[in-house]
Amino acid sequence: MDSPLYIKSEIGKLKTVLLHRPGKEVENLTPDYLADLLFDDIPYLEVAQKEHDAFAKVLEDNGTEVLYVDKLAAEALKDPEVQSKFIYDILRNSKQGDRNVTKTLYSYLQSMKTIDMVHTIMAGVRKDELNVGYDGAKRLHEMLGDTYPFYLDPMPNLYFTRDPAAVIGTGLSINKMHFPARRRESLFIKYIIEHHPRFAGVNVPIWYSRDSKFSIEGGDQLVLSKDTVAIGISQRTSAEAIETIAEKLLTDGGFSQIVAIEIPKSRAFMHLDTVFTMVDYDKFTVHPAIQDNNGKMNIFILTRNFTSGGLHIARRSNLTETLCEVLGKNKITLIPCGGGDPIASAREQWNDGSNTLAIAPGVVVTYDRNYVSNALMHKHGLEVIEVTGAELVRGRGGPRCMSMPMVREDI
């Protein structure tokens, strides 16, 4: 395990993880722009930070090295030329084009200390922070009454580090995010991998590029074993993206099968890991509503077609049977979110009761508020470490969403 990236399971002891502590970007949320920025409510930042710090401490207390996006990004951008290109890429991906304000924004960001520049890009730049007029006078577009408050949009979803990229094997999927509000996030990962001394020069395989045509997000990417990756076909991950990454993983990644699992395309069921996570060698959490009344769903096993050189796709419909097949198990236990009760399961799934983070086989981190699901996992022999997420959950994400594992031990 010499690589700085090594993930060949969902449950191996978590050795290194990437987090982002919520910052001022959360305080730039307002009711008028919640939907565009993919939030349903506004977290109270001070409390959210305390909750996040407690989450990070749980990981550290259990032997996990915790890295932070802002610190790694600042260290990766020390070279002035790299920093200049990063700012340019951020502005280009912020729909700036060649607007008059773009040069002012570029100069404004470049004048800062690197860590301050990183934090400012994350927080967004408000119009009242910059004078882009002529010797103090307003520009015409300002005088026309445009009330949108930002020149550079905030990035409040950054604390969900799971989605912009995913470590798979010894390589990385740098993801094309589905919604424009999140597409800039993967630029931080791209520059960290390419320019941070911890990763630069290691020749990390890139399984998927953020510049690809089709969207895919880390919440839909689960490494079930050294042979098998599960990927959700969801609101945010397309079937075309799965076929594209499957070609790379099956050819160069050392994996023998990709399991594509279709889930309802809705805000509540945003990613596969909001309805399905692996918690032990033979145990999974699941939200029962992803299956039909007969317990069926659309599942596809993708393997290499050695005759044609392309993909062979086999259809399945039973989740338990498919998991037994691809993992070589005689029995798989699905632990229903909320105990399967229609009210409790819907409530706790909305509050990320199925979004568990395994930090070792049979040891999971969950939100304490999902007491029905937590009690059931405990009953199934799991060690459940509860953290408070009263404010963090307002962004619609749990412990798995808030963590990007970089290194796990083999199981």
User: How far, in Å, are 8, 27, 334, 377 from residue 324 at the CA level?
Assistant: 18, 45, 11, 20
Q: What are φ and ψ of residue 64, in 5° steps? A: -100, 130
Secondary structure letter of residue 388 according to DSSP: -
Strand order in the sheet with 221-223: 221-223, 228-233, 257-262, 299-304, 311-316
Helix (H) or strand (E) holding 140: helix 140-143
Distance CA(129)–CA(132), nearest Å, equals: 10
SS3 271: coil
Contacts of 329 (CB under 8 A, 6+ apart): 281, 282, 323
User: How far, in Å, are 56, 369, 375, 392, 399 from residue 389 at the CA level?
Assistant: 12, 8, 17, 5, 9
CB-CB contact of 387 with 54 (8 Å): yes
CB-CB contact of 272 with 216 (8 Å): no
Is 324 an annotated catalytic residue?
no
Task: Indicate the residue type of 339.
Answer: G
Catalytic residue among 11, 337, 384, 401: 401
Using DSSP bridges, classify how beta strands 257-262 and 206-208 pair: parallel, antiparallel or unpaired.
unpaired
Closest CA to 181 of 166, 169, 165, 164: 164
CB-CB contact of 332 with 320 (8 Å): yes
Closest CA to 163 of 282, 294, 69, 75: 69
- Give the residue numbers annotated as catalytic, written as ranges: 401
